[in-house]
Amino acid sequence: MSQKTEGIAKRQAILARAQYEDMLCFFDYKHLPEGLQAISKPFNKLAHSLVEQLPDHSQKMVALQKLLEAKDAAVRIAVAKTKPQRERIQNLIIENHRNGLSASEIHAKVQEAFPNSKITEEVIKEFALTLEAEV
């Protein structure tokens, strides 16, 4: 294949893909916490694969929409699964904040009680500020 023909084929592929770019952005996952990335990443790969492999057809967008619904449901399940632990961490922060502990002291207690927690001292500080604003 000549370079000119290859160039034309690449431009056509880019143009064909362009109509799906808005939909594909909903499959991004790198902004999510690590655990949710693992849930979302396979959907991202499948969405991109469908756009690349399937011919243009009205059902192609339908397939992407249904895949997006499935991805959203899977992420919601993963978020719901962590709710009890998030509530226990929240209660621990509230209790220790009421006892006058600093954010760094509270962070140490959270890490001790929940070693796998990814919560940062900065998040605890922000949460403490919301608690103080409620008073």
Compute the distance between CA of residue 88 and CA of residue 96 in angstroms, rounded to an integer. 12
pLDDT at 19: 85
- 50-101, pLDDT tens digit by residue? 999 999 898 999 999 999 999 999 999 999 998 999 999 999 999 999 999 9
Of residues 70 and 2, more confidently modeled: 70
pLDDT at 49: 96
**Using an 8 Å Cβ cutoff, are 108 and 86 in contact?**
no
- Would you list the domain boundaries of the chain? 3-134
Residues written for the chain: 135
Compute the distance between CA of residue 1 and CA of residue 125 in angstroms, rounded to an integer. 61
pLDDT at 32: 92
